[in-house]
Structure 1
Amino acid sequence: MGITGKLSAQIQIKCGGDVFHQLYKHKPHEVSKICSNLVQGCDLHQGSWGEIGAVICWNYMIDGEQRVAKEIIEAIDEEKRSITFKVIEGDLMEFYKSFKVILHVETSGNTDLVTWTLEYEKMNEDIEEPFTSLQLLVKTVKDVDSHHYSVKYYIVRQQEMGLNGKLSAQIEYKSGGDVFHEVFRYMPHEISNMSPEIIQGCGLHQGDLGTAGSVLIWNYTHDGKKKVAKEIVDSIDEEKRSVRFKMIEGDLLELYKTFYATFHVETHGDIDLVTWTLEYEKLKEDVEDPLTLLGLCIKLTGDIESHHLKP
């Protein structure tokens, strides 16, 4: 796969979007008080809080190791409630040529959503996608949300428990976007030959391959365990080269009320990009967001790419 990528996670919050936006814009140093097990400090090195050009240094913990990141606030969009942080020094720069962290808060009806997006260029293809960094940001959202959550707020919005989420990953794909689209649409039964460690089988249970309404059963390995997924092809967009799968039976529905997986292929000049998006509703709040499953999708994409790049 290529060296550029994009990961994002969208999480439903209960404390109010403005609260979250203002915290990260004007008082990010308070995040360490709220999430002390994840973030140990945030210091202003240059400029003023909440202004473009301000330089902030974060001390945080990942995988039991202390890390440091120095960031500059590159952009602020008040209307969209978004902030773009560009990493300029620290541990991440040992692995990435460039690394940006974008925070976006939006409100849809009575629902507030926080989206974290990581845009990066790796030093080389062997470097892993920054899932641990995304996971850290997801955890901070939940800690901040819980910190500002009140009994009064619960009474007003007790039906909105932060169960909905969306994760996505965009990666370069070298063996042709059309190839990838055709494999998943018309030849999913061949994927077990391309990625046997992940996919052990895919059978057509109903309908015709490549058509909306067809039902597939996947046998796969996730987190070292054998799993089964039965899904229906919910929709196909030929122009966008996208296919959306809806989970209707299997292990995932023990944790999620609904679960959709969508892949989308696009081409920019000579570069093909594959985007995976997972949309879900948890059965309860303490269910983990499926970040490892998103990682599985990326690894599967890499295996399919390598299979078609072989001489």
Structure 2
Amino acid sequence: MEAVEATPEMSALFGELVLDVEIRAPAGKFHHMLAGRPHHMSKATPNNIQRCDLHEGEWGKVGTIVTWNYVLDGQPKIAKDRIEAVEPEKNSITFSVIEGDLMNEFKSFVLKIQVTPKQGGPGSVVNWHGKYEKIDENVAHPENMLPFFKSMSKEIDEHLLSEV
């Protein structure tokens, strides 16, 4: 059950991205990669993430600032994010972009990733939920991020399943 949804709402300046990706790894393991060891993501998904550096704070803690070097549509990009919320019991983490390439087109960009165990079977569903405000009406809806999130999820899943 994979759903992809991109829904601009409220006005031409505000929008959301929603993507569910089925994975085989346990929800807690996937969440721990995002919250507790995102600096390992360049090994797990090298086509998407080149590096993740701790700028300020502690991995997985609210208020921590992390810098990401990533590739979107074949172009190298940088994002500096603040961790806004971490809910281990819900396998959820929320990042707010505070600097970087996205801020050239968006006044705000918040991304919540929640991983839920599948009902009645092994595996999990990774829900990517982004909310943003564009700097003006000429900025395109960032649908190009959906394949990026899907690819990242699948590569991280494969990596987690191969870990001993």
TM-based fold match above 0.5: yes
1:70 paired with 2:80, answer yes
Within 5 Å, which residues of 2 pair with 1:9-48?
9-48=19-58
Letter in 1 for 2:61: E
- Check if 1:125 corresponds to 2:137: yes
Task: Write the distance in 1 (CA, Å) between the matches of 2:78 and 2:147.
Answer: 16
Query: What CA distance in whole angstroms lies between the structure 2 residues aligned with 1:109 and 1:51?
Result: 31
**Is 1:4–1:120's contact at 8 Å kept on the other side of the alignment?**
yes
Residue among 94, 97, 106 paired with 1:96 = 106
How far, CA to CA, are the matches of 1:16 and 1:100 in structure 2? 25
CA displacement, residues 72-118 of structure 1 (integer Å, 9 cap, x when unaligned): 00011222211000000000000000001110011123241111111
Q: Please give the alpha-carbon distance, in whole angstroms, between the structure 2 residues aligned to 1:134 and 1:45.
A: 26
Residue 143 in structure 1 maps to residue 138 in structure 2: no
Q: Under a length normalisation based on structure 2, what TM-score does the superposition of the two structures give?
A: 0.87
CA deviations 1:199-221 (Å, max 9, x no partner) are: xxxxxxxxxxxxxxxxxxxxxxx
Mapping of 1:266-285 within 5 angstroms? none
Which whole-Å CA distance do the structure 2 matches of 1:17 and 1:120 have between them?
Answer: 26
Partner of 1:114: 126
Distance in 1 between the 2:81 and 2:137 partners? 24
Q: CA deviation at 1:34?
A: 1.3
1:153-302 to structure 2, matched below 5 A, reads none
How many matched pairs? 150
Q: CA shift at 1:149, angstroms?
A: 2.3
The one-letter amino acid paired with 2:91 is: R
SS in 1 for 2:63: coil
Would the aligned equivalents of 1:118 and 1:134 in 2 still touch at CA under 8 Å? no
Identity %: 39
RMSD (CA atoms): 1.2
For 1:133 and 1:58, the matched residues in 2 are separated by: 15
Rg bigger for which structure? 1
Consecutive unaligned residues in structure 2, runs of 5 or more? 1-10
- 1:2 paired residue among 12, 18, 22: 12
Secondary structure of the residue aligned to 1:29 is helix
CA contact (8 A) 1:116 1:137 kept: yes
* SS of 2:129 mapped into structure 1: strand
Partner of 1:131, secondary structure, is coil
In structure 2, how many angstroms separate the alpha carbons of the residues matched to 1:42 and 1:92?
16
Match in the other structure for 2:4: none
Displacement of 1:129: 1.0
TM-score (norm 1): 0.47
Match of 1:50 among 44, 60, 65: 60
Is 2:25–2:157's contact at 8 Å kept on the other side of the alignment? yes
How big is the shift at 1:139? 0.5
Structure number with the bigger relative contact order (C-alpha 8 A, sep ≥ 6) is: 2
